[in-house]
Chain A
Amino acid sequence: MKPRQKRIALIAGGLASLALAAMLALNALDSNIALYVTPSEVAAGKAPQGKAFRIGGLVKEGTVKRDNMTVHFVVTDTAKDIPVAYTGILPDLFKEGKGAVIQGKLGGDGIFAATEVLAKHDENYMPPEAQHAVDQVKKAQAK
């Protein structure tokens, strides 16, 4: 092999082994990289016990109730539900039926005591008229 070919082979080999190492590392870290767990994972006992963590899911329709400064709602992944209590300011995009990521601790009473509520919006961008049309179709399908 010429020195140039040798160098190219070395670089290619180095990159391939690096990619493999990174893949294995990421695979091992998998659950630690996740920002939140879903209500189903909490129900399956995958949430850290006695420690603060984040749950992510949809704010269940018709469950948001305000009681003075405290907001009660239910977060769901459509399979499992978790009731949440939060005292503080909610982001503007926090809405029933929309995504949210909630940090806090699971109390003994099964209610998730939140310290922070973040809104998670989706990747769709459209004018209000188009959104209205989409909503109409969804309503028609639900009937």
Chain B
Amino acid sequence: MGNHGGLEGGIGVKQSIIHWFKYASPQSFYPLAGRMIPWFWAAAAVFGIAGLWISFFVAPTDAQQGEGYRIIFVHVPASWMSMFIYLVMAFWAGLGLALNTRVSGMMAQALAPTGALMAALSLWTGAFWGKPMWGTWWVWDARLTSELILFFLYLGFMALQAAIDDPRRADKAGAILALVGVVNIPIIYFSVKWWNTLHQGSTINLNKAPSMAQTMLWGMLLMALGFWMYSIAVALTRVRAIILERERHTEWVKHALE
């Protein structure tokens, strides 16, 4: 491992706690993020290519929907990511609010655009799928409407943060909005269970076997992994830019950019 102490094994508990907090400082998180990014890009490429290959060439045609169902391989991973990124974003925002750690707010800010992209992708691919299968681009059912609200929550978070000049105050205001919005995530997830919706129920459930052919499932899970890796790589790249911007007056940034 590198010469950064935090990555070496065999250290006592007390010491390792200190090392974890070390990465809460922008100065030491910046190079760590930089070292991780290429690995996540590589993993995103591997999983993405494998997932797309299975999606297009290996997974069988669907009995009901023919070839059109293949949009699921983008739609479902994007929808999952849009919900999961929101939870992670709210987690960092809440952590920053509670502990006043600086990198937390920056992580939340870095995740928002990717989350918004995933929500948009989910709505867009959903519309493209809905038209041929259901017969409509859009319907105001609980699943679609709550996902649209999620998209607006991301946009609202980004707008609120951008509207406040002082980054620490922007983080706090954004964090409160992010935490309030968490209520929407279980609503999206359970909407198809709680209410009558045009959107069908979940194919992948925690408490029963997935109602999907094996190869289709593999394609979808690989694509989801690819989306994960992409999201992490992009968020880390973005957080590095945010660190540089916010810490531009410090000595270490001046050194780092030399």
Given A7-B98, A92-B132: A126 and B212 interface contact (C-beta under 8 Å)? yes
Chain A binder among B19-27, B196-204, B229-237: B196-204
* A14 interface hit (Cβ, 8 Å): yes
Asked if residues B63 and A127 are in contact (CB atoms below 8 Å), the reply is: yes
Interface range on chain A: under 10, 10 to 19, 20 to 34, or 35 or more? 35 or more
Asked if residues A92 and B195 are in contact (CB atoms below 8 Å), the reply is: no
Given A121-B65, A124-B203, A131-B64: A11 and B98 interface contact (C-beta under 8 Å)? yes
Q: Out of A26, A90, A123, name the residue touching B203 (CB < 8 Å).
A: A123
Asked if residues A123 and B202 are in contact (CB atoms below 8 Å), the reply is: yes
* Residues of chain A in range 76-135 having any CB-CB distance to chain B below 8 Å: 89-94, 101, 116-128, 130-132
Asked if residues A130 and B200 are in contact (CB atoms below 8 Å), the reply is: no
* A19 interface hit (Cβ, 8 Å): yes
Task: Specify the main secondary structure of chain A where it touches its partner.
Answer: mixed
Given A11-B179, A128-B63: A119 and B135 interface contact (C-beta under 8 Å)? yes
* Residues of chain B in range 157-177 having any CB-CB distance to chain A below 8 Å: none
Shortest Cβ distance from B200 into A: residue? A123
Contacts of B94 in A (CB 8 A): 11
Asked if residues B183 and A117 are in contact (CB atoms below 8 Å), the reply is: no
Contacts of A33 in B (CB 8 A): 142, 194-195
Asked if residues A35 and B211 are in contact (CB atoms below 8 Å), the reply is: no
Interface residues of chain A, those whose CB is within 8 Å of chain B, are 4, 7-8, 11, 14-15, 18-19, 22, 26, 30, 33-38, 56, 89-94, 101, 116-128, 130-132
- 3 smallest CB-CB distances across A and B, nearest first, come from A91-B135, A131-B63, A127-B60
> What are 9 pairs between A and B in contact, CB < 8 Å?
A15-B182, A38-B196, A89-B135, A91-B134, A119-B134, A125-B72, A126-B213, A127-B61, A130-B63
